[in-house]
A and B are shown apart, each in its own frame.
Chain A
Protein backbone atom coordinates (compact mmCIF):
# COMPACT_ATOMS: atom_id res chain seq x y z
CA UNK A 1 0.00 0.00 0.00
CA UNK A 2 1.43 3.29 -0.94
CA UNK A 3 0.48 6.74 -0.21
CA UNK A 4 1.47 9.98 -1.62
CA UNK A 5 5.08 10.95 -1.01
CA UNK A 6 5.22 13.82 -3.45
CA UNK A 7 3.23 16.25 -1.35
CA UNK A 8 5.84 16.30 1.35
CA UNK A 9 8.89 16.68 -0.81
CA UNK A 10 10.38 19.88 -2.04
CA UNK A 11 13.17 20.42 -4.54
CA UNK A 12 16.60 22.07 -4.24
CA UNK A 13 16.99 25.38 -5.98
CA UNK A 14 19.23 25.74 -8.98
CA UNK A 15 17.89 22.75 -10.80
CA UNK A 16 16.85 22.80 -14.42
CA UNK A 17 18.07 26.33 -15.18
CA UNK A 18 18.10 25.17 -18.79
CA UNK A 19 14.40 24.51 -18.95
CA UNK A 20 13.61 27.80 -17.22
CA UNK A 21 15.46 29.75 -19.90
CA UNK A 22 13.65 27.85 -22.58
CA UNK A 23 10.35 28.65 -21.00
CA UNK A 24 11.25 32.35 -20.79
CA UNK A 25 12.07 32.58 -24.48
CA UNK A 26 8.86 30.88 -25.48
CA UNK A 27 6.91 33.26 -23.26
CA UNK A 28 8.62 36.28 -24.82
CA UNK A 29 7.72 35.10 -28.31
CA UNK A 30 4.11 34.64 -27.26
CA UNK A 31 3.95 38.13 -25.82
CA UNK A 32 5.30 39.64 -29.02
CA UNK A 33 2.69 37.75 -31.01
CA UNK A 34 0.05 39.08 -28.65
CA UNK A 35 0.90 42.69 -29.38
CA UNK A 36 1.30 42.24 -33.12
CA UNK A 37 -2.14 40.73 -33.55
CA UNK A 38 -3.91 43.45 -31.58
CA UNK A 39 -4.59 45.39 -34.76
CA UNK A 40 -6.63 48.37 -33.69
CA UNK A 41 -9.80 48.94 -31.71
CA UNK A 42 -12.80 46.79 -32.59
CA UNK A 43 -15.42 48.49 -30.49
CA UNK A 44 -17.48 50.96 -32.48
CA UNK A 45 -17.08 53.40 -29.62
CA UNK A 46 -13.32 53.57 -30.07
CA UNK A 47 -13.11 53.48 -33.85
CA UNK A 48 -11.73 56.55 -35.57
CA UNK A 49 -14.36 58.30 -37.66
CA UNK A 50 -13.11 57.21 -41.05
CA UNK A 51 -12.89 53.57 -40.07
CA UNK A 52 -16.30 53.78 -38.46
CA UNK A 53 -17.83 55.09 -41.67
CA UNK A 54 -16.19 52.19 -43.53
CA UNK A 55 -17.64 49.73 -41.06
CA UNK A 56 -21.09 51.28 -41.44
CA UNK A 57 -20.84 51.18 -45.24
CA UNK A 58 -20.07 47.51 -44.90
CA UNK A 59 -23.13 47.14 -42.70
CA UNK A 60 -25.28 48.90 -45.30
CA UNK A 61 -24.08 46.48 -47.95
CA UNK A 62 -24.85 43.50 -45.76
CA UNK A 63 -28.32 44.75 -44.91
CA UNK A 64 -29.05 45.48 -48.55
CA UNK A 65 -27.95 42.00 -49.54
CA UNK A 66 -29.94 40.36 -46.79
CA UNK A 67 -33.12 42.42 -47.05
CA UNK A 68 -33.20 43.27 -50.72
CA UNK A 69 -33.59 46.99 -50.11
CA UNK A 70 -31.35 49.97 -49.45
CA UNK A 71 -30.77 50.66 -45.77
CA UNK A 72 -28.95 53.76 -44.54
CA UNK A 73 -26.89 53.42 -41.38
CA UNK A 74 -26.19 56.93 -40.17
CA UNK A 75 -23.40 57.93 -37.83
CA UNK A 76 -24.95 61.25 -36.81
CA UNK A 77 -22.87 62.50 -33.90
CA UNK A 78 -24.35 64.04 -30.75
CA UNK A 79 -25.10 67.76 -30.92
CA UNK A 80 -23.04 69.95 -28.60
CA UNK A 81 -24.70 71.38 -25.47
CA UNK A 82 -27.52 68.86 -25.63
CA UNK A 83 -28.64 66.50 -22.88
CA UNK A 84 -31.90 64.81 -23.73
CA UNK A 85 -34.71 64.55 -21.23
CA UNK A 86 -38.15 63.04 -21.43
CA UNK A 87 -41.31 63.67 -19.44
CA UNK A 88 -44.50 61.66 -19.37
CA UNK A 89 -47.78 63.08 -18.10
CA UNK A 90 -49.44 60.47 -15.89
CA UNK A 91 -52.63 62.51 -15.74
CA UNK A 92 -53.02 62.17 -19.50
CA UNK A 93 -51.91 58.70 -20.51
CA UNK A 94 -54.92 56.56 -21.32
CA UNK A 95 -53.03 53.34 -21.97
CA UNK A 96 -53.88 53.11 -25.66
CA UNK A 97 -50.45 51.62 -26.51
CA UNK A 98 -50.08 53.60 -29.74
CA UNK A 99 -46.60 54.54 -28.52
CA UNK A 100 -45.65 50.87 -28.20
CA UNK A 101 -46.46 50.08 -31.80
CA UNK A 102 -45.14 53.33 -33.25
CA UNK A 103 -41.85 52.40 -31.59
CA UNK A 104 -42.00 48.90 -33.05
CA UNK A 105 -42.32 50.29 -36.56
CA UNK A 106 -39.84 53.14 -36.23
CA UNK A 107 -37.13 51.10 -34.53
CA UNK A 108 -37.32 47.86 -36.47
CA UNK A 109 -38.30 45.75 -33.52
CA UNK A 110 -38.72 42.05 -34.07
CA UNK A 111 -42.34 41.07 -34.68
CA UNK A 112 -41.76 37.36 -34.20
CA UNK A 113 -40.53 36.73 -31.54
CA UNK A 114 -42.35 39.81 -30.31
CA UNK A 115 -40.17 42.46 -28.73
CA UNK A 116 -41.44 45.75 -27.30
CA UNK A 117 -39.26 48.53 -25.96
CA UNK A 118 -42.18 50.23 -24.24
CA UNK A 119 -44.28 48.44 -21.65
CA UNK A 120 -47.49 50.13 -20.49
CA UNK A 121 -48.45 49.18 -16.95
CA UNK A 122 -52.01 49.52 -15.80
CA UNK A 123 -52.19 50.49 -12.15
CA UNK A 124 -54.99 51.19 -9.74
CA UNK A 125 -55.60 54.73 -8.63
CA UNK A 126 -56.23 53.45 -5.10
CA UNK A 127 -52.80 51.86 -4.87
CA UNK A 128 -50.79 54.47 -6.71
CA UNK A 129 -47.53 53.61 -8.44
CA UNK A 130 -47.20 50.00 -7.29
CA UNK A 131 -45.24 47.60 -9.46
CA UNK A 132 -46.29 44.50 -7.57
CA UNK A 133 -49.88 44.93 -8.72
CA UNK A 134 -49.19 46.40 -12.12
CA UNK A 135 -50.71 44.70 -15.13
CA UNK A 136 -49.14 45.01 -18.58
CA UNK A 137 -51.58 42.58 -20.18
CA UNK A 138 -54.78 44.59 -19.79
CA UNK A 139 -57.07 44.23 -22.81
CA UNK A 140 -60.42 45.90 -22.23
CA UNK A 141 -62.62 47.04 -25.07
CA UNK A 142 -61.81 50.67 -24.31
CA UNK A 143 -59.27 52.63 -22.34
CA UNK A 144 -58.93 54.29 -19.92
CA UNK A 145 -60.62 51.90 -17.51
CA UNK A 146 -62.43 53.31 -14.52
CA UNK A 147 -60.26 53.57 -11.41
CA UNK A 148 -57.02 52.90 -13.27
CA UNK A 149 -54.13 54.92 -14.55
CA UNK A 150 -51.33 54.01 -16.92
CA UNK A 151 -47.56 54.13 -16.59
CA UNK A 152 -45.59 53.42 -19.74
CA UNK A 153 -42.04 52.30 -18.94
CA UNK A 154 -39.05 52.17 -21.26
CA UNK A 155 -35.36 52.93 -20.81
CA UNK A 156 -34.95 55.74 -18.34
CA UNK A 157 -31.53 56.75 -19.79
CA UNK A 158 -30.10 56.91 -16.29
CA UNK A 159 -27.25 59.25 -15.57
CA UNK A 160 -25.96 56.69 -13.06
CA UNK A 161 -26.87 53.67 -15.12
CA UNK A 162 -26.42 50.28 -13.44
CA UNK A 163 -26.36 48.59 -16.85
CA UNK A 164 -23.35 50.62 -17.99
CA UNK A 165 -21.62 49.77 -14.73
CA UNK A 166 -22.06 46.00 -15.03
CA UNK A 167 -21.38 45.40 -18.70
CA UNK A 168 -18.20 43.29 -18.74
CA UNK A 169 -17.10 44.21 -22.25
CA UNK A 170 -18.06 47.88 -22.25
CA UNK A 171 -20.65 47.29 -24.97
CA UNK A 172 -23.06 49.79 -23.48
CA UNK A 173 -22.31 53.38 -22.49
CA UNK A 174 -23.85 56.81 -22.23
CA UNK A 175 -23.25 59.12 -25.18
CA UNK A 176 -22.46 62.81 -24.56
CA UNK A 177 -26.04 63.78 -25.36
CA UNK A 178 -27.28 61.47 -22.62
CA UNK A 179 -28.55 58.50 -24.58
CA UNK A 180 -27.43 55.12 -23.23
CA UNK A 181 -26.52 53.10 -26.30
CA UNK A 182 -25.46 49.55 -27.16
CA UNK A 183 -22.86 48.41 -29.66
CA UNK A 184 -24.78 45.46 -31.13
CA UNK A 185 -21.61 44.05 -32.69
CA UNK A 186 -19.67 44.06 -29.43
CA UNK A 187 -22.35 42.76 -27.05
CA UNK A 188 -21.69 39.12 -26.11
CA UNK A 189 -25.21 38.55 -24.82
CA UNK A 190 -24.30 37.78 -21.21
CA UNK A 191 -27.36 39.70 -19.95
CA UNK A 192 -25.69 41.20 -16.89
CA UNK A 193 -27.24 44.49 -17.92
CA UNK A 194 -30.71 42.96 -17.88
CA UNK A 195 -30.21 41.72 -14.35
CA UNK A 196 -28.94 45.16 -13.36
CA UNK A 197 -31.73 47.26 -14.89
CA UNK A 198 -34.36 48.16 -12.28
CA UNK A 199 -36.90 49.12 -14.93
CA UNK A 200 -37.02 46.00 -17.09
CA UNK A 201 -35.99 48.26 -19.94
CA UNK A 202 -33.45 46.03 -21.63
CA UNK A 203 -34.62 43.25 -23.90
CA UNK A 204 -32.87 40.26 -25.34
CA UNK A 205 -33.07 38.74 -28.79
CA UNK A 206 -33.77 35.16 -27.75
CA UNK A 207 -34.06 34.19 -31.39
CA UNK A 208 -33.30 35.72 -34.78
CA UNK A 209 -35.39 38.89 -34.97
CA UNK A 210 -37.95 38.87 -37.76
CA UNK A 211 -39.42 41.89 -39.48
CA UNK A 212 -41.87 41.31 -42.33
CA UNK A 213 -40.66 42.45 -45.73
CA UNK A 214 -41.94 45.91 -46.48
CA UNK A 215 -42.09 46.94 -42.81
CA UNK A 216 -38.41 47.66 -42.37
CA UNK A 217 -37.60 51.30 -41.61
CA UNK A 218 -34.50 51.96 -43.75
CA UNK A 219 -33.50 55.21 -42.02
CA UNK A 220 -31.31 53.85 -39.25
CA UNK A 221 -28.51 54.86 -36.91
CA UNK A 222 -25.69 52.50 -36.02
CA UNK A 223 -26.37 52.85 -32.30
CA UNK A 224 -30.12 52.81 -32.63
CA UNK A 225 -32.62 51.16 -34.89
CA UNK A 226 -30.47 49.27 -37.38
CA UNK A 227 -31.55 45.62 -37.57
CA UNK A 228 -30.03 43.68 -34.70
CA UNK A 229 -28.53 40.19 -34.74
CA UNK A 230 -29.66 37.22 -32.68
CA UNK A 231 -28.33 36.95 -29.14
CA UNK A 232 -27.76 40.60 -28.25
CA UNK A 233 -29.49 43.07 -25.97
CA UNK A 234 -31.42 46.11 -27.19
CA UNK A 235 -33.50 48.91 -25.74
CA UNK A 236 -35.04 52.32 -26.29
CA UNK A 237 -32.55 54.89 -27.60
CA UNK A 238 -34.86 57.92 -27.54
CA UNK A 239 -35.07 57.34 -31.32
CA UNK A 240 -31.45 58.41 -31.70
CA UNK A 241 -31.87 58.35 -35.48
CA UNK A 242 -34.55 61.07 -35.19
CA UNK A 243 -33.53 63.19 -32.24
CA UNK A 244 -30.00 63.79 -33.45
CA UNK A 245 -31.60 65.37 -36.50
CA UNK A 246 -33.86 67.58 -34.45
CA UNK A 247 -37.03 65.50 -34.65
CA UNK A 248 -39.10 64.11 -31.80
CA UNK A 249 -39.06 60.42 -30.92
CA UNK A 250 -41.81 58.42 -32.60
CA UNK A 251 -43.66 57.81 -29.34
CA UNK A 252 -43.88 61.54 -28.61
CA UNK A 253 -45.39 62.28 -32.00
CA UNK A 254 -47.92 59.49 -32.07
CA UNK A 255 -49.37 59.97 -28.60
CA UNK A 256 -52.97 61.06 -29.24
CA UNK A 257 -53.39 62.79 -25.88
CA UNK A 258 -50.06 64.60 -25.82
CA UNK A 259 -48.83 62.82 -22.71
CA UNK A 260 -45.23 62.63 -23.90
CA UNK A 261 -42.77 65.50 -23.84
CA UNK A 262 -39.17 65.64 -24.91
CA UNK A 263 -36.38 68.13 -25.20
CA UNK A 264 -32.96 69.40 -24.27
CA UNK A 265 -32.43 69.61 -20.52
CA UNK A 266 -29.68 72.16 -21.06
CA UNK A 267 -31.99 74.57 -22.90
CA UNK A 268 -33.71 76.73 -20.30
CA UNK A 269 -36.51 77.52 -22.73
CA UNK A 270 -37.37 73.93 -23.54
CA UNK A 271 -40.66 72.35 -22.51
CA UNK A 272 -38.80 69.68 -20.59
CA UNK A 273 -37.24 72.32 -18.37
CA UNK A 274 -40.62 74.03 -18.00
CA UNK A 275 -42.06 70.76 -16.75
CA UNK A 276 -39.28 70.11 -14.28
CA UNK A 277 -39.50 73.65 -12.94
CA UNK A 278 -43.29 73.97 -12.80
CA UNK A 279 -44.87 70.57 -12.42
CA UNK A 280 -44.87 67.86 -9.77
CA UNK A 281 -42.22 65.59 -11.18
CA UNK A 282 -41.17 62.16 -9.99
CA UNK A 283 -38.86 59.41 -11.16
CA UNK A 284 -39.37 55.67 -10.75
CA UNK A 285 -37.51 53.82 -8.00
CA UNK A 286 -35.80 56.99 -6.96
CA UNK A 287 -34.17 55.36 -3.94
CA UNK A 288 -31.94 53.35 -6.28
CA UNK A 289 -30.13 56.56 -7.24
CA UNK A 290 -30.10 55.76 -10.93
CA UNK A 291 -30.80 59.45 -11.74
CA UNK A 292 -33.07 58.82 -14.72
CA UNK A 293 -33.54 61.40 -17.44
CA UNK A 294 -37.08 60.13 -17.88
CA UNK A 295 -39.47 62.04 -15.64
CA UNK A 296 -43.11 61.41 -14.81
CA UNK A 297 -45.37 64.28 -13.90
CA UNK A 298 -48.95 65.34 -13.35
CA UNK A 299 -49.93 68.30 -15.46
CA UNK A 300 -53.21 68.89 -13.67
Chain B
Protein backbone atom coordinates (compact mmCIF):
# COMPACT_ATOMS: atom_id res chain seq x y z
CA UNK B 1 0.00 0.00 0.00
CA UNK B 2 2.74 2.41 0.90
CA UNK B 3 4.28 1.99 -2.54
CA UNK B 4 1.01 3.12 -4.16
CA UNK B 5 0.63 6.21 -1.93
CA UNK B 6 2.88 8.58 -3.89
CA UNK B 7 1.63 7.63 -7.37
CA UNK B 8 -1.90 7.80 -5.95
CA UNK B 9 -1.43 11.32 -4.70
CA UNK B 10 0.13 12.31 -8.01
CA UNK B 11 -2.79 10.85 -9.91
CA UNK B 12 -5.29 12.74 -7.77
CA UNK B 13 -3.34 15.96 -8.25
CA UNK B 14 -3.18 15.46 -12.01
CA UNK B 15 -6.86 14.66 -12.15
CA UNK B 16 -7.68 17.78 -10.21
CA UNK B 17 -5.62 19.86 -12.62
CA UNK B 18 -7.22 18.21 -15.62
CA UNK B 19 -10.71 18.79 -14.29
CA UNK B 20 -9.94 22.46 -13.76
CA UNK B 21 -8.86 22.92 -17.35
CA UNK B 22 -11.91 21.19 -18.78
CA UNK B 23 -14.18 23.49 -20.78
CA UNK B 24 -17.26 24.51 -18.82
CA UNK B 25 -20.41 22.66 -19.65
CA UNK B 26 -22.60 25.73 -19.11
CA UNK B 27 -21.97 29.43 -19.98
CA UNK B 28 -19.98 31.47 -17.43
CA UNK B 29 -22.49 33.57 -15.57
CA UNK B 30 -22.00 37.34 -15.99
CA UNK B 31 -21.18 39.10 -12.72
CA UNK B 32 -24.00 41.29 -11.40
CA UNK B 33 -23.50 45.01 -12.04
CA UNK B 34 -21.87 46.96 -9.17
CA UNK B 35 -24.34 48.87 -7.13
CA UNK B 36 -23.37 52.45 -6.35
CA UNK B 37 -19.73 53.62 -6.58
CA UNK B 38 -20.30 55.28 -9.93
CA UNK B 39 -21.77 52.11 -11.33
CA UNK B 40 -24.62 54.05 -12.77
CA UNK B 41 -27.63 52.33 -14.10
CA UNK B 42 -27.99 48.80 -15.41
CA UNK B 43 -30.57 49.65 -18.04
CA UNK B 44 -30.67 53.40 -18.41
CA UNK B 45 -33.74 54.89 -19.92
CA UNK B 46 -32.89 55.99 -23.43
CA UNK B 47 -34.74 57.63 -26.30
CA UNK B 48 -35.82 55.39 -29.18
CA UNK B 49 -33.01 54.13 -31.43
CA UNK B 50 -32.26 56.46 -34.34
CA UNK B 51 -33.67 54.34 -37.13
CA UNK B 52 -33.80 55.71 -40.64
CA UNK B 53 -37.34 56.56 -41.71
CA UNK B 54 -39.47 53.47 -42.23
CA UNK B 55 -36.64 50.96 -41.84
CA UNK B 56 -38.01 49.31 -38.69
CA UNK B 57 -39.41 46.71 -38.15
CA UNK B 58 -36.88 44.91 -40.33
CA UNK B 59 -39.03 41.79 -40.31
CA UNK B 60 -41.40 43.66 -42.59
CA UNK B 61 -39.14 42.59 -45.46
CA UNK B 62 -36.90 39.99 -43.93
CA UNK B 63 -39.58 37.71 -42.53
CA UNK B 64 -40.22 36.33 -46.02
CA UNK B 65 -36.63 36.31 -47.23
CA UNK B 66 -34.19 33.43 -47.29
CA UNK B 67 -31.18 33.84 -45.05
CA UNK B 68 -27.96 34.18 -47.01
CA UNK B 69 -24.98 33.93 -44.69
CA UNK B 70 -22.37 34.44 -47.38
CA UNK B 71 -20.14 37.44 -46.76
CA UNK B 72 -20.67 39.81 -49.65
CA UNK B 73 -21.19 43.44 -50.49
CA UNK B 74 -24.92 44.21 -50.55
CA UNK B 75 -26.21 45.39 -53.90
CA UNK B 76 -30.00 45.10 -53.95
CA UNK B 77 -30.76 46.90 -50.67
CA UNK B 78 -28.82 48.67 -47.89
CA UNK B 79 -26.20 49.56 -50.48
CA UNK B 80 -26.20 53.08 -49.03
CA UNK B 81 -24.49 51.70 -45.91
CA UNK B 82 -20.70 51.82 -46.02
CA UNK B 83 -19.27 49.59 -43.35
CA UNK B 84 -16.19 51.18 -41.77
CA UNK B 85 -16.10 49.40 -38.48
CA UNK B 86 -13.58 46.58 -38.41
CA UNK B 87 -14.95 45.58 -41.86
CA UNK B 88 -11.92 43.41 -42.52
CA UNK B 89 -13.09 40.94 -39.89
CA UNK B 90 -16.82 41.49 -39.62
CA UNK B 91 -19.89 42.01 -41.68
CA UNK B 92 -23.58 42.62 -41.16
CA UNK B 93 -24.59 39.33 -39.63
CA UNK B 94 -21.90 39.53 -36.97
CA UNK B 95 -24.12 42.06 -35.24
CA UNK B 96 -27.56 41.69 -36.80
CA UNK B 97 -29.33 38.48 -35.89
CA UNK B 98 -29.63 36.30 -39.00
CA UNK B 99 -32.87 34.63 -38.00
CA UNK B 100 -34.75 37.69 -36.82
CA UNK B 101 -33.58 41.02 -38.15
CA UNK B 102 -35.55 42.90 -35.51
CA UNK B 103 -32.82 41.96 -33.07
CA UNK B 104 -29.10 42.21 -32.70
CA UNK B 105 -27.02 39.43 -31.19
CA UNK B 106 -24.00 39.12 -28.93
CA UNK B 107 -20.98 36.90 -29.55
CA UNK B 108 -22.56 34.22 -27.41
CA UNK B 109 -25.61 34.16 -29.63
CA UNK B 110 -27.81 35.90 -27.08
CA UNK B 111 -30.23 38.27 -28.77
CA UNK B 112 -30.47 41.88 -27.63
CA UNK B 113 -33.06 44.44 -28.70
CA UNK B 114 -32.01 47.65 -30.49
CA UNK B 115 -32.96 49.53 -27.32
CA UNK B 116 -30.08 47.72 -25.57
CA UNK B 117 -27.60 47.97 -28.41
CA UNK B 118 -25.04 49.29 -25.94
CA UNK B 119 -24.55 45.75 -24.70
CA UNK B 120 -23.42 44.82 -28.18
CA UNK B 121 -21.03 47.76 -28.48
CA UNK B 122 -19.75 47.02 -24.98
CA UNK B 123 -18.44 43.63 -26.02
CA UNK B 124 -15.47 45.29 -27.69
CA UNK B 125 -15.69 48.71 -26.12
CA UNK B 126 -15.88 47.60 -22.51
CA UNK B 127 -14.34 50.69 -20.89
CA UNK B 128 -16.64 52.91 -22.91
CA UNK B 129 -19.62 50.92 -21.69
CA UNK B 130 -18.54 51.18 -18.08
CA UNK B 131 -17.91 54.91 -18.48
CA UNK B 132 -21.23 55.36 -20.25
CA UNK B 133 -23.14 53.65 -17.46
CA UNK B 134 -21.38 55.90 -14.95
CA UNK B 135 -22.44 58.92 -16.98
CA UNK B 136 -18.89 59.77 -17.97
CA UNK B 137 -18.93 58.82 -21.63
CA UNK B 138 -21.29 60.60 -23.93
CA UNK B 139 -23.24 63.78 -24.02
CA UNK B 140 -24.60 64.80 -20.69
CA UNK B 141 -28.00 66.42 -20.34
CA UNK B 142 -30.67 66.34 -17.69
CA UNK B 143 -30.21 66.96 -13.98
CA UNK B 144 -26.91 66.45 -12.21
CA UNK B 145 -28.63 65.48 -8.97
CA UNK B 146 -31.58 63.68 -10.37
CA UNK B 147 -32.70 62.18 -13.59
CA UNK B 148 -29.75 62.05 -15.97
CA UNK B 149 -30.69 61.60 -19.57
CA UNK B 150 -28.80 58.92 -21.44
CA UNK B 151 -28.47 58.40 -25.15
CA UNK B 152 -27.72 55.20 -27.02
CA UNK B 153 -24.31 54.81 -28.56
CA UNK B 154 -26.01 54.98 -31.90
CA UNK B 155 -27.46 58.40 -31.20
CA UNK B 156 -23.98 59.90 -31.61
CA UNK B 157 -22.00 57.17 -33.33
CA UNK B 158 -23.17 55.72 -36.63
CA UNK B 159 -22.72 51.99 -35.88
CA UNK B 160 -21.62 51.30 -39.43
CA UNK B 161 -19.21 54.24 -39.66
CA UNK B 162 -18.64 55.37 -36.08
CA UNK B 163 -15.77 57.84 -36.56
CA UNK B 164 -16.96 61.41 -35.99
CA UNK B 165 -16.88 63.74 -38.90
CA UNK B 166 -14.89 66.89 -38.40
CA UNK B 167 -17.01 69.92 -37.52
CA UNK B 168 -16.78 73.48 -38.64
CA UNK B 169 -15.65 75.42 -35.58
CA UNK B 170 -17.55 78.42 -34.34
CA UNK B 171 -15.76 81.74 -34.92
CA UNK B 172 -12.52 82.51 -33.15
CA UNK B 173 -12.63 85.25 -30.52
CA UNK B 174 -11.74 88.76 -31.61
CA UNK B 175 -8.19 89.61 -30.52
CA UNK B 176 -8.01 92.65 -28.22
CA UNK B 177 -7.30 95.90 -30.05
CA UNK B 178 -6.06 99.24 -28.85
CA UNK B 179 -8.57 102.06 -29.31
CA UNK B 180 -8.36 103.54 -32.75
CA UNK B 181 -6.29 100.72 -34.24
CA UNK B 182 -7.59 99.00 -37.34
CA UNK B 183 -9.10 95.53 -36.83
Contact = CB atoms under 8 A, between A and B. Distances in A.
Interface string A232-267: 000000000001001110001101111011111001
A262 B137 contact: no
A95 to B, nearest CB: 6
B124 interface: no
B166 A144 contact: yes
Interface size of A as a range:
35 or more
B168 A141 contact: yes
A253 B141 CA distance: 5
Interface stretch (B61-69, B87-95, B128-136): B128-136
Given A253-B140, A255-B139, A137 B38 contact: no
Nearest to B148: A271
A143 B166 contact: yes
A299 interface: yes
Interface stretch (A42-50, A52-60, A273-281): A273-281
B11 interface: no
Contacts of A138: 169, 172
A246 B145 contact: yes
B144 A274 contact: no
A263 B144 contact: yes
Interface string A80-124: 001000000000001111101100000000000010100100000
A140 interface: yes
Contact of B145 (A142, A252, A264, A277): A264
Given A257-B164, A258-B156, A275-B136, A95 B169 contact: yes
Interface in B115-164: 127, 131, 134-146, 156, 164
A136 interface: yes
Contacts of A96: 167-170
Interface size of B as a range:
20 to 34
Contacts of A267: 145
A82 B144 CA distance: 11
A114 B173 contact: yes
Interface string A124-139: 0000000000001111
Contacts of A252: 140-141
Interface of B: 36-40, 127, 131, 134-146, 156, 164, 166-175
20 contacts: A79-B145, A94-B164, A97-B171, A97-B172, A98-B170, A101-B170, A137-B173, A137-B175, A140-B169, A144-B166, A246-B144, A252-B140, A255-B139, A256-B167, A258-B156, A261-B136, A263-B145, A264-B145, A268-B36, A275-B136
Given A97-B171, A142-B167, 12 more contacts: A94-B166, A96-B168, A119-B173, A137-B175, A144-B166, A252-B141, A256-B167, A258-B137, A258-B140, A262-B144, A269-B38, A279-B136
